[in-house]
Amino acid sequence: MRCFILCAILALVASPAAAQAPAPAGPASVAELVANTADTSILLAAVQAAGLTEALSDPDLVATVFAPTDDAFVAALEALNVTAAEILADTELLTTVLTYHVVPGAAVMAADLVDGDAFQSMLAGPTGELTFMAPASLMTTSGQTVNIITTDIMAGKAVVHLIDMVMLPDMGMAMAPAPEMMM
């Protein structure tokens, strides 16, 4: 009897219908991914405070997003000697910093990153530039070297890479306001 039950289970698992079952769908958007990732709760609060939830909820958003982890935010708050409440209340600064983490127009997978590649974030002009450095880091306009710690998380048509620092643009450079986040 045990053999019959075991054989029946194996037959079901190996059946063509089981093999054709669709893979579970990933998050439909960047906002959904951030909301459902344990290590991005501070990023979620920042996105909400900056009023970017709707833009990041668009399943058709084509972008590469470099998402700081909670540890990255804690380290940034300590380095800047500010509280989370103070940062979340400064929506202009928050929007500038968060849009620096979004490269619109292309979902760039880790395998497609080449040493020296330059990317233009949502911030206009030289302030918004990021440079990829092999094997897995970014150089910001403020001179930070940021490590990419988890790659290629699909969220709708966007790809998200988790990073170990909050990227800060060089605020001394001439900076245009962050453009509207509509793609």
Q: Is residue 125 part of a domain?
A: no
pLDDT along the chain (183 residues), means of 10: 35 39 66 94 95 94 96 92 91 92 95 94 90 92 93 96 93 47 41
Angle at 122 between CA 116 and CA 124, to 5 degrees: 85
Q: Is residue 86 part of a domain?
A: yes
Q: What is the per-residue pLDDT for 52?
A: 94
- Reduced to 3 states, what is the DSSP secondary structure of residue 176? coil
Q: Is residue 53 part of a domain?
A: yes
Q: Is residue 98 part of a domain?
A: yes
Q: What is the per-residue pLDDT for 166?
A: 95
Look up the pTM and report it: 0.80
Taking 3-state DSSP, the helix, strand and coil percentages for the chain, each rounded to the nearest 5, stand at 40, 20, 40
Q: Is residue 64 part of a domain?
A: yes
CATH classification of the domain holding 86: 2.30.180.10
Domain hosting residue 88, numbered range: 26-110+146-163
Q: Is residue 122 part of a domain?
A: no
Angle at 19 between CA 15 and CA 23, to 5 degrees: 150
Q: What is the per-residue pLDDT for 124?
A: 85
Q: What is the per-residue pLDDT for 23?
A: 40
* Overall domain count for the chain: 1
Q: What is the per-residue pLDDT for 172?
A: 64
Q: Is residue 172 part of a domain?
A: no
Q: Is residue 90 part of a domain?
A: yes
